[in-house]
Amino acid sequence: MLKRIRKISLIKQILYLLYIMLIILLISFIVSNSIAKSIVEKKVTESTTKILLQVEETMESFYKDMDGISYSLLYSPTIQSYLGTNEILSRILMNQEIAAQFSSTLALKENMRGIRIYDTEGKMVASVGKAIEPTVKRQVSEIEYSGIFSDKMNGSYYTIAVPVYNLQNNYLLRDYRGMCLFIMDVSNFDSMLKKSKITPHSRLMLVDHNDKVIANSDIESGLEKFNADNLRDDKRYIVQEITLSCTGWKIISVIPKNELLQDLDIIKRLNVATYVIIFSIFCVFLLIFYGRILKPIKALMDFIRTYTKNGGRSRFNVVYHNEIGVLADNLNKMLDEIDRLGSDVQIAQKQMYETEIVKKQMEISAYRNQINPHFLYNTLECIRAMAFYYKAEDIADISASLSNMFRYSVKGENIVSVYDEIVHLKEYATIIDFRFRGKIQIAVQADESLYSEKTLKMLLQPIVENAVFHGLEKKIEPGMVTVQIRKIGHNQIRFSIMDNGCGMDEHRLSVLQACLHQYEAPGFMTNIGDKGIGLANIYRRIKLFYGDQAEMTIDSTLNVGTTVSITFSSDKQLLETEDLHV
């Protein structure tokens, strides 16, 4: 199976991937839409249940208020006395008090429209407020809430029948005195239900025992009947109801599902439009992919395949500057780098051969300088002895210094201590002092803790000699060469040779600095016997020994002076290794 897939072209693989992606998106859309619908319905059902419970709690609170009002009214001494006597005269005399109490009770609730009191025989003995049709049931043993009534004069209303008992007798005997009927308006329920609507076209209704609508969140309440069972099986609606325990009434919520899922329908249309756009974009992508990626890749593969035959300086023609173009450009750079590295290898081999030749020349020069050195030392010692004999101490000192300098330069290893270099430099300073009669001074400022550090031989004296003959000898005034030896960083030592001689202009300084780097160019050779040891040769020596861990800088200002600085590593292991190489 995997072998078959690997043999399929890239464009077909992308098409198959597109088909699979569209199928997965379609399935995920159907499943997610179904899950979203169920989640929305569940959340709305939970929210509606909470709202219905809140409405129920509000109405229960209203019922408790009515219970308190009825208890306060019906069990007052006035009402108890009024119902406790059957004398017409006594009741007439109490009518004013009864009317006052009824009026104060009506003021407690805005939706209370009237109050009626019936005696034990069901005869109305007192009333105030709205006049309604006679009630059929005029005796009750418990509080009863009627259904909704409606007439042209009073509109829609309902009644609350409350039994009245004699408080002076035992509660268990329940001495029945009569019944009080409260006439209530339904307008307060309408406003309560309107505030609890969830969606614009949902309905929240309060219905009585006979399924007549008492209050409605959409229209004014009336005597219309509403049967929730007819809508329960209708999948277009979510129907919920709660039965009030005190009254037996029901709160019914009807929510159209299409209102809940309107946002989902919008999302569905957006998803469909998105899929169409994605499919169109993917088709455009395939065209671009073929023209900008597949074709250049094929051309690049053809170039790589034929490069071994063509070879040489042939390069891929970069047309597009996208990732394939960058790849092709990097391929061209890689081929250029390969050519450059091949050329560098040839140059490095050539330099290696030249270095070997230079080493041989240095050995030959050293052998040449060592021809019969004892003859030279003996001659200088003879001159020194004759100077002492003739009491010419200056000649003796200069002969001794010259002899020590020759002995130091010819004999010994290439690696010496900093102290040896300073001693050799002081011998040279003695000769310069005799020669110029104190006009040119050489001062050494060295950290004594660095005396034991190792360095290359013959670094300081050639640079000081260069400063004397090129910077101070041409100067009429006295001159000074200052040599500073100090440690910088963790394991770096710096030699600084400063003079206050003639200095150099910028052009000559740049030419000299360029000359230092000529040893890196192919074909550079050094003939020590003919030219002596100059700055370029010192630069070459420190680079051969230390590599990138050594650096030489030259700073000069015309008529001010010149400073030559050599910075190198004090790593003894490195010096020993380099010494073995040399």
What's the whole-number average pLDDT of the chain? 78
Q: What is the pLDDT of residues 433-472, one digit of tens each?
A: 888 888 899 999 999 999 999 988 888 989 999 999 888 9
Task: Give the pairing type, strands 440-446 and 479-488.
Answer: parallel
The label of the residue with tokens 């052009």 reads 507
The larger pLDDT score, comparing residue 507 to residue 412, is at 507
Residue 440 CB: number of other CB atoms within 10 A?
A: 23
Statement: residue 522 has pLDDT above 60: no
Q: Which tokens sit at 291?
A: 């023209």
Statement: residue 259 has pLDDT above 60: yes
Backbone phi and psi for residue 493, each to the nearest 5 degrees, phi listed first = -120, 140
The larger pLDDT score, comparing residue 219 to residue 282, is at 282
Q: Tell me what pLDDT residue 422 has.
A: 93
Q: What is the pLDDT of residues 339-362, one digit of tens each?
A: 788 778 887 777 677 667 766 666
pLDDT band of 528, cuts 50, 70, 90: very low
Q: Tell me what pLDDT residue 384 has.
A: 66
Q: Tell me what pLDDT residue 526 has.
A: 43
pLDDT band of 266, cuts 50, 70, 90: confident
pLDDT band of 527, cuts 50, 70, 90: very low
Q: Answer whether 554's CB lies under 8 Å from 563's CB.
A: yes
pLDDT band of 245, cuts 50, 70, 90: confident
| Alpha helices, H only, 107-129 | none
CA max distance for the chain: 177
Rg for the chain (alpha carbons), in Å? 59
CA-based angle 220:222:224, to the nearest 5? 120
How far apart are alpha carbons 538 and 333 in whole angstroms?
A: 37
Nearest to residue 226, comparing CAs of 147, 153, 143, 132? 147
Over residues 414-421, the mean pLDDT reads: 88
* Three-state DSSP class for residue 110: coil
**Domains of the chain by start residue, with CATH:** 75-185 (3.30.450.20), 435-581 (3.30.565.10)
Q: Tell me what pLDDT residue 247 has.
A: 81
Statement: residue 291 has pLDDT above 80: no
Percent of the chain with pLDDT over 90: 10
The larger pLDDT score, comparing residue 202 to residue 454, is at 454
pTM above 0.95, yes or no: no
Q: Tell me what pLDDT residue 257 has.
A: 76
Q: Is the dihedral of CA 149, 151, 155, 161 positive or negative?
A: negative
Cα distances (Å, whole numbers) of residue 532 to 29, 67, 370: 89, 128, 16
Statement: residue 561 has pLDDT above 60: yes
Statement: residue 427 has pLDDT above 90: no
